[in-house]
Structure 1
Amino acid sequence: MNVTEQARLSVAPMMDWTDRFCRGFHRILSREALLYTEMVTAAAIIHGPRARLLRRDAPENPVALQIGGSDPEELRRATALAAPFGYDEVNLNVGCPSDRVQSGCFGAVLMKTPGLVAECVRAMIAESAVEVTVKCRIGVDDQDPDTVLPDFLNQMQDAGVRRITIHARKAWLEGLSPKDNREIPPLDYPLVHRMKTRFPELHLSINGGIAPGMIEDQLWLMDGVMVGRAAYHQPWDILGEADRLWNREPPCKGPVEAALAMRPQIVAWLEEGARIHQITRHMLGLFHGRPGARLWRRVLSEGAHKAQSPAEGLALYDAALDQIRGAMAAA
């Protein structure tokens, strides 16, 4: 199966969340969904601790690297330097509204300069053996999305991009925090749906506010669905049965089985030097809405930072597992 097919469902790049431990956990839940890294800036790839920033574990695949930047030459170099790390896709961030991103003149602010974005992706495509994609907003500030978005897509298509994810909200670059920009600007799903009709040759995924129960309906109208916060806070509800979208049997029968399947990976990470809280902080929502969910979260949240050794970390995880199984058996 190629990456385009696996982009039928993807988990969004999320700063401070979709690190390699999170992606390893999500891969336990779904063999097929496309996963994304946190955004890494082109400058950090070129000048920073590249091996640490781009490290990934082989079982994560398929996984895409998201890069932030606005200088075509810098993005070209970053794409070339990232190639040996074996990502299945390279994605350009044209959607993040944070102040830090704006100050670097990349992210959502690039919706104002589609010509520059086109130069950037051309440079990236020239250096990449894997597909270069774009994640964007429908517009920013006072832009008219009905005009801006189709022009943006047209310029991306002319530059050689064939797969784009559209966050169905504007970004307000002044006056709203990054958190508010994920929640306050209204969603405009119909506009994104119209873009699929207008650009049938592009593979278009929809993102923004996607909750459990919405994915299959959106797939009637779009090529793919990207889920962000719901996949993080309700991972089983989004990913536990996701492989059925590809007519594949899910790897785990339930969240308890998924938690057990994670144990060998946790042991390996702890032996490498990871701390248990680095791993389990991504797993707190595994039992969302199920008996014992609050107990699971409390045991892991209260104890993870206290565990000083791999043995203590594993003992804490086993205790949380025992508690959740007891709570579910009693329900």
Structure 2
Amino acid sequence: MMDWTDRHCRTFHRQLSRRALLYTEMVTAPALVRGGATHLLDFGSQEHPVALQLGGSEPGELARAARMGADHGYDEINLNVGCPSDRVQSGRFGAVLMREPELVAECCAGMIAAQPLPVTVKCRIGVDDQRPDDVLPDFLSKIRAAGVRRVTIHARMAWLQGLSPKENRDVPPLDYDLVHRMKAEFPDLHVSINGGITDLDQVETHLARGLDGVMIGRAAYHDPAMVLLEADQRIFGETGPAPTREEVVHAMLPYIDRHIAAGGKLGQVTRHMLGLFTGQPGARRWRRVLSEGASRPGADRELVLEALGEVTRAAA
């Protein structure tokens, strides 16, 4: 979710669910440790609970980056061993590390020893010519021995040769049953599943079958209300009412005001809000008003209220 789940996106998603664990974009350990890019760690207190997702393959560097994340107040440190992008591969980050479970275990051990937060791993079921039934249990065994107790498994292979990152999200077939078998084989691990899950009905099905959690990425971005609006009630057992889409918009206005007052642009926030009314009357007008107007000089909360007015009129 690089270039997607920035702090503005996370603040918006937090208005829909108070309980869902949010993740940062992947931040590379070299950027933090060698590049001094500590601004990449910035987040707001309203985002909790929030996990810092790191990329890297040098144990000492990852340990230092994890410690920096803990010092900044994150709730979890996550090591990404699932991203298939070319630039990640060239830096020896992401899914290519599925071929080096011993190195991943060493990295995790160093990150755990360096700071007090839980260290979790997001992985694939395998890459390229690997056999998932063989490689995934071995991978999980090694990171468990290093001290990892929570893992999220994207239930697809990553085909690093021949497929683009976009194709790797859709083309390799899903193998949900393998992830469920891993939970049965490693009952002491907290196992979450990822990949192809688009709504809370599917979430509830996976949880009912015994998994501990579900991670949703692009579906939560493109149709956030479908995924997040009732998550606190249906998944976490909250008894209060879920917010309405309109209430979410109004909850974002003070944040928008502060962002613009600090020199930010409206579009930096509203680009993440375009999918809020997906499937609802007025959704197209909402998107059009924000898309066309947010980049104009002086655009502020009034444009958001104008877009909301279009939705209200369409629903009348």
Partner of 2:238: 248
One-letter amino acid matched to 2:257: V
Partner of 1:226: 215
Partner of 1:9: none
Partner of 2:46: 59
Partner of 1:116: 103
Q: What per-residue deviation string (whole Å, max 9, x for no partner) do you get for residues 195-252 of structure 1?
A: 0111110000000000112111011121000001110001011000000111114674
Partner of 1:303: 293
Give identity over the alignment, percent: 61
**Candidates 299, 302, 310, aligned match of 1:323:** 310
Partner of 2:226: 237
CA distance in 2, matches of 1:204, 1:195: 8
CA distance in 2, matches of 1:77, 1:44: 12
- Answer yes or no: is 1:270 the counterpart of 2:270: no
CA distance in 1, matches of 2:241, 2:85: 36
Q: Does structure 2 conserve the Cα–Cα contact (< 8 Å) formed by 1:102 and 1:108?
A: yes
One-letter amino acid matched to 1:315: E
- Answer yes or no: is 1:217 the counterpart of 2:184: no
Report the TM-score when normalising by structure 1.
0.92
CA distance in 2, matches of 1:186, 1:247: 32
**Candidates 132, 141, 150, aligned match of 1:145:** 132
Partner of 2:120: 133
One-letter amino acid matched to 1:295: R
* SS of structure 1 residue aligned to 2:215: strand
Q: Does structure 2 conserve the Cα–Cα contact (< 8 Å) formed by 1:240 and 1:250?
A: no
Partner of 1:284: 274
CA distance in 1, matches of 2:259, 2:39: 15
* SS of structure 2 residue aligned to 1:26: helix
**Candidates 8, 12, 22, aligned match of 2:9:** 22
CA RMSD of aligned residues (A): 1.1
- Answer yes or no: is 1:162 the counterpart of 2:149: yes
Q: CA deviation at 1:305?
A: 1.4
CA distance in 1, matches of 2:63, 2:248: 39
Q: What per-residue deviation string (whole Å, max 9, x for no partner) do you get for residues 21-66 of structure 1?
A: 0000000000000000000000011133533110000000000000
Q: Does structure 1 conserve the Cα–Cα contact (< 8 Å) formed by 2:232 and 2:242?
A: no
One-letter amino acid matched to 1:46: V
CA distance in 2, matches of 1:179, 1:141: 16
Report the TM-score when normalising by structure 2.
0.97
> How many correspondences in the alignment?
313
* SS of structure 2 residue aligned to 1:246: coil
Q: What per-residue deviation string (whole Å, max 9, x for no partner) do you get for residues 144-178 of structure 1?
A: 00000011011111000000000000001111110
Q: Does structure 2 conserve the Cα–Cα contact (< 8 Å) formed by 1:45 and 1:82?
A: no
Q: What per-residue deviation string (whole Å, max 9, x for no partner) do you get for residues 234-281 of structure 1?
A: 101100000011111467432112111111121122212221111011
Any gaps of 5 or more consecutive residues in structure 1? 1-13
Q: Does structure 1 conserve the Cα–Cα contact (< 8 Å) formed by 2:77 and 2:117?
A: yes
CA distance in 2, matches of 1:313, 1:269: 10
CA distance in 1, matches of 2:166, 2:27: 19
Partner of 2:91: 104
Q: Does structure 1 conserve the Cα–Cα contact (< 8 Å) formed by 2:285 and 2:311?
A: yes
* SS of structure 2 residue aligned to 1:18: coil
With 241-250 and 205-214 compared, the bigger mean Cα shift is at: 241-250
Q: Does structure 2 conserve the Cα–Cα contact (< 8 Å) formed by 1:29 and 1:251?
A: no
**Candidates 72, 77, 91, aligned match of 1:85:** 72
One-letter amino acid matched to 1:278: Q
One-letter amino acid matched to 1:216: E
Q: CA deviation at 1:315?
A: 2.0
Partner of 1:314: 301
- Answer yes or no: is 1:293 the counterpart of 2:283: yes
